[in-house]
A and B are shown apart, each in its own frame.
Chain A
Amino acid sequence: MIEVEDLVKHYRASSGGIVRAVDGVSFAVNPGEMVGLLGANGAGKTTTLRMLATLLAPTSGTARVGGCDVATDPVGARRRLGYVSATTGVPDRLSAREILHSFGALHGLRGDALEARVDQLIDVLDLGTCADRPAGRLSSGQRQRVSVGRALVHDPPSLVLDEPTNALDVLGARDLLAFLADLRSSGRAILLSSHRLHEIENRCDRFVVIHGGRVVAKGTREAFVGKAGGLEEAFFAAIAGARAE
């Protein structure tokens, strides 16, 4: 489970002022649920996800992953979280197998258990034909699948994905989202940010819209999308409402 309560992140700008990147965001993602985090560029999505991943310290408020507070028990939170970023950050020279091995070892997997886990991820993510090829020679879709495998290597109950389909073509994005739906069915809590609303409209159970660091709308798919006629329309309406205030 992922819980965010009144989360705030302020930066000191180079001009000396304070940038309120995230300003009192609250939401939750239950096990077996996929929640879409939506917002324009600079809305505070990535900063929120980075705080959940313990990569940025909250200025105030709380964020918990699997019951572990990211500020007081960051190691516990990291053990329960898989993180996928928009930029895959896959080392070009290493193969998918080597990358999954290395990151499995970073979670304490060893020997046969590590081998079995890597083989299973290669199979599940359909990387069999390219598992031993340097990652620099993989397609964008294959690299993103390696990135997803790296996030799942320790079998985390919660998954945070920051614009995972950005570099993917239609087929690659659809395969990845189908895979995420499968992970949700297995009881994982999935928080997903994306600008490609049409892709996630029918995949997410709930949506949270952020604008200017604040939550301006949230609700179940039926409640949020239903009235507006589509996710894109609902998103525009939420942003327009926030701008008008």
Chain B
Amino acid sequence: MTGQTPPPARAPDQLAPLPSPAPLPSPAPLPSLAPLPALAPLPALAAIVAVARFQINRLLTPHRLALAAIGAAFPTAVLLAATKARGSALDTDLGAILLYGLVPEAICMLGLLVTMCPVVADELERGTWVHIAVRPGGRRALLLGTWLAAVLWTGAVAIFALLLALSVGVIENGLILLGPFSVLVCLSCIGRAALFSLPAVIIPKRALVASVGVALVVEYLAGLIPAVVNQLTVSLRLRTLLVRFMDWRQNMPIELQLLVDDRPPWAQVGAVLILAVVFLAVAVAILEWRQFPPSEES
């Protein structure tokens, strides 16, 4: 309270009359839209690539780039801390184990959780779902294009993280890991982005939580059970390839040998690709079948 008395209200008749408002201008005639020549049907692959370009365009924000840079620097920071704790450079085997946990596992998982899981929920929430799904490529192009964008974005961040970690020279002969680990990054992104597409289309609004559950239960729990179920996991294939690349199998205790597959590397690569195709085909079928009433968009 200021203690000041408010000025007396003016009676309506004390208000000076306004001049008559000018009439609203008539809308200016708009130029006409020239017709387009008939468009050829869009090939499915072109529609997928077009959606992927659109999604990557949307991912290129300063905020996301900053997060990606922090994520890419994280493995290097951990390796530097480990080197400092040991007082010497890491030998190749130890460096490979740390790098495997940090890049094809942690960085790829986190990147894919952020980019792949919201494929449906984000579009519904932002109101962009109807505008993309109504294009000729429809829902299939939306899902596969987003999968491609997630693989390219996460793969690029992970490869950058790998290059950074190997370039600081804290792993002895570290550069020999670049080729094999690039393969592991690619397979991790291809397989797990496809895996995460399933919760994204089945329970869009809980996709992130469900995908974390899938990662923990399917990839890390079932993947470590030496039974038929672990044959359906990407983690088994990546682990097996790591052991092959590093030539560790002969020196592994017999109980640890149960955690990797006996088949050759090409079979592991083929298995990841087949798993990815199956996961994506199921996800596309579910998404084509699902109905999203207007009330679900909020």
Contacts and interface: CB of A to CB of B under 8 A. Distances in A.
Given A47-B293, A106-B136, A108-B40, A83 B32 contact: no
B56 to A, nearest CB: 10
20 contacts: A11-B291, A57-B291, A83-B134, A88-B127, A89-B127, A91-B128, A102-B50, A102-B57, A103-B135, A106-B51, A106-B141, A108-B43, A108-B136, A113-B36, A124-B30, A124-B32, A126-B30, A170-B24, A175-B30, A183-B33
Nearest to A126: B30
Nearest to A171: B24
Given A91-B58, A94-B57, A106 B137 contact: yes
Given A78-B138, A103-B135, A175-B27, A46 B294 contact: yes
Contacts of A89: 126-131
Interface in A144-184: 147, 150, 152, 154-155, 170-171, 174-175, 178-179, 182-183
Contacts of A126: 30
B292 interface: yes
Contacts of A102: 50, 53-54, 57
B294 to A, nearest CB: 5
B30 A75 contact: no
B53 A79 contact: no
A50 B296 CA distance: 13
Interface stretch (A115-123, A204-212, A214-222): A115-123
A144 to B, nearest CB: 12
A238 interface: no
A67 B233 CA distance: 46
Nearest to A160: B134
Nearest to A150: B131
B134 A81 contact: yes
Contacts of A105: 50, 53-54
A170 B24 CA distance: 10
Nearest to B127: A89
Contacts of A55: 130, 133-134, 292
By size class, the interface of chain A is 35 or more
B35 interface: yes
A83 B133 CA distance: 11
B47 interface: yes
Contacts of B8: none
A152 B130 contact: no
Interface in A55-75: 55-57, 74-75
Q: Which of A83, A85, A108 is packed against the most chain B CB atoms within 10 Å?
A: A108
A79 B39 contact: yes
Interface in B95-139: 126-138
Nearest to B297: A87
A83 B130 contact: yes
B31 interface: yes
Contacts of A200: none
For the complex of A and B, list the 7 residue pairs with the smallest distance between their C-beta atoms, beginning with the closest.
A89-B127, A108-B42, A155-B36, A87-B127, A105-B50, A106-B135, A102-B54
A75 B126 contact: no
A21 interface: yes
